Structure 1
Amino acid sequence: MTTTPAGTNGALAPFERFMATVRRACGTPEGRVILRQALTDNLENPWQLYTVLLPAGGIPIRDDTPEHLRQQAEHPFLLAAVLYAVHDAPNPRRTDNRPLTIPTPKPAQTWENIGWSLARATHTGMRRETATGALSHLCALEYDDLIRELPATISMLRSGGAPVRWAVLARDLTRYQRWPADVRIDWARSYTTPATSKENTK
């Protein structure tokens, strides 16, 4: 059974548990390779992901999700999982970084979203114009286009050292399927509001 880390924001609890599942799945060389390869394949044939994610803890969609909508509901989780595997999952083959010693990340906050990551990127070398342009581009997209464009943005963020909160990303992608306008506003708020202001209002 997957437990929720202490201090977890309630809205993020199922997504934090899912990312714990993903970390377990990436804890073997085979699992990490399967997850990384799925991004290369653009999630077009994701059946192998289920062979590593389901035994590690599963994908937390609602039990009453109609069968014909299950894959659609699972897609945001799969995308967050493979992006994490590519950009942040430690290599389990390294003798100095075994899975059992990997610390659990600090619980995220809902405002630590893509807008927040892009704002952080401006402090690690990204030009403000570039970050603003990236946010504007993403917010102009519908879900199907967003998921095609998002991997490039995540790669840009992580290569520049900006953090990505994977549980928040998974939550926002699930929301983007139904309430994209709300997610866009959240991203814009986090991009334009200094992190210290949000921290002081918790």
Structure 2
Amino acid sequence: MFGTLTMEAGIIRVLLVDDHAIARNGVSLMLGTAADICVGAQAASFDDATECIASEQFDVALIDIAMPGKSGLQLLQALRLARPGMGLMILSHYSEEIYGLRAFSLGASGYLSKDVSADVLVQAVRKVASGGKYVSPAMAGQLAMVLAQGPVGAHENLSERELQVFQRLAAGQSLVQIGAALNLRPNTVTSYRARILKKMKMACNAELTRYALELGML
């Protein structure tokens, strides 16, 4: 947890969760362009964020997906249970096409990629703080496609843990490295790998890597 601000009437208080200080500072500066928004606290991890909400009230949480330990999606689920009325928005370098559907299914109120402009970010925060959902044109098209024909993208069929293993396999990590990072035994990672290949209808790690590259996941 990195500092707090006193709540003021009419001000949207934001909890900013990202393990990179540079990213947090950049987003904070972007939000600082709006007089009605303030970053009430910053957190670098799942534990930091849960500590923040235990002692303070926030209107919106901006959450990165890729963090050490528990992921932003796991934090999203935890915050949705702990603070049902809080607006929860993913702000990630992963595009909406990759994680958008999963994030919304877990309770997100919005999803933005980190290359978004300050104006769009401010607009999205305001909408989510008012109880609405921010859906970009790209995300709206994806949601419409799902309603019409079911999930898009082979990775959408993976569980949260399978998705974590998939990302590391695609990045070229060994079974031992993945096990150490996710606190899993190598033979457990092997089982996950087999399930991932089956669900995604692929034959080897190289195909996983190619898929991840094509979707911009690496």
Which structure is higher in helix share?
1
Shorter-chain TM-score above 0.5: no
TM-score band (shorter)? under 0.3
The answer to which structure has the higher strand fraction is: 2
**Greater relative contact order (Cα 8 A, min sep 6): structure 1 or 2?**
1
Provide the TM-score with structure 2 as the length reference. Answer: 0.26
CA radius of gyration, larger in: 2
Give me the TM-score of the superposition, normalised by structure 1. 0.27
